[in-house]
């Protein structure tokens, strides 16, 4: 296997509407987990009402095939491939997803990794976008674990 990492972003073309957007995002996540597990691809998907950003890690051929399939998906447009390069280790051992909406945590990360106060991947380098995705996923996982811990404490 020739381990590689691919970073891209695109415009979110899912029609506005809370329920339909939620359903579409859930379908994307479920299908991604299913497809990527079969070909040993891991990564992270980041989204908000305007953009998707994704980091994919796996065999170079599998990433190319995955990207070709993704680029045919009508739920996003204006796809920009920021970087594809060989790597020695994966950052994402599993599959992650995070919402890049407006929050104190996200706003702090926007300022740290970008020149804007909102998620604008077109204004970010591949390294900045990778750092942003990693930190947001870490924060999101921490928040999820905190909520799980609180539920367990409440149930005890």
- The pLDDT tens digits of the residues spanning 29-66 come to 888 888 888 899 988 888 888 888 999 999 999 999 99
Question: Which pLDDT score is estimated for 20?
Answer: 73
Confidence of residue 148 (pLDDT cuts 50, 70, 90): very low
Return the H-helix or E-strand segment holding 3.
Answer: strand 3-12
Question: Which pLDDT score is estimated for 102?
Answer: 58
Q: Which of 17-21, 107-111, 125-129, 134-138 has the lowest mean pLDDT?
A: 17-21
Structural domains in the chain plus CATH codes: 3-151 (3.30.70.100)
Q: Which of 103, 7, 110 is nearest to 63 (CA)?
A: 7
Residue 122 has what DSSP assignment? Answer: G
pTM: 0.82
Contacts of range 102-107, beta carbons closer than 8 Å, 24 or more positions apart: 105/136, 105/139, 106/136
Distance CA 92, CA 112 (A): 21
Question: Which pLDDT score is estimated for 18?
Answer: 60
């Amino acid at each position: 296997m020739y381990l590689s990492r691919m970073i891209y972003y695109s415009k979110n073309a899912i029609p506005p509407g809370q329920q339909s957007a939620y359903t579409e995002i859930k379908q994307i996540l479920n299908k991604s987990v299913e497809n990527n597990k079969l070909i040993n691809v891991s990564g992270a998907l980041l989204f908000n009402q305007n953009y998707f950003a994704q980091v994919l890690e796996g065999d170079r051929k599998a990433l190319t095939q995955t990207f070709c399939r993704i680029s045919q998906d009508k739920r996003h447009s204006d796809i920009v491939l920021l970087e594809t390069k060989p790597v020695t280790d994966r950052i994402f051992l599993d599959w992650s997803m995070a919402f890049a909406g407006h929050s104190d945590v996200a706003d702090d990360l926007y300022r740290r990794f970008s020149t804007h106060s909102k998620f604008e991947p077109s204004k970010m380098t591949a390294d900045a976008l990778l750092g942003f995705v990693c930190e947001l996923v870490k924060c999101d996982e921490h928040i999820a674990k905190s909520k799980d811990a609180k539920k367990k404490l409440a149930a005890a």
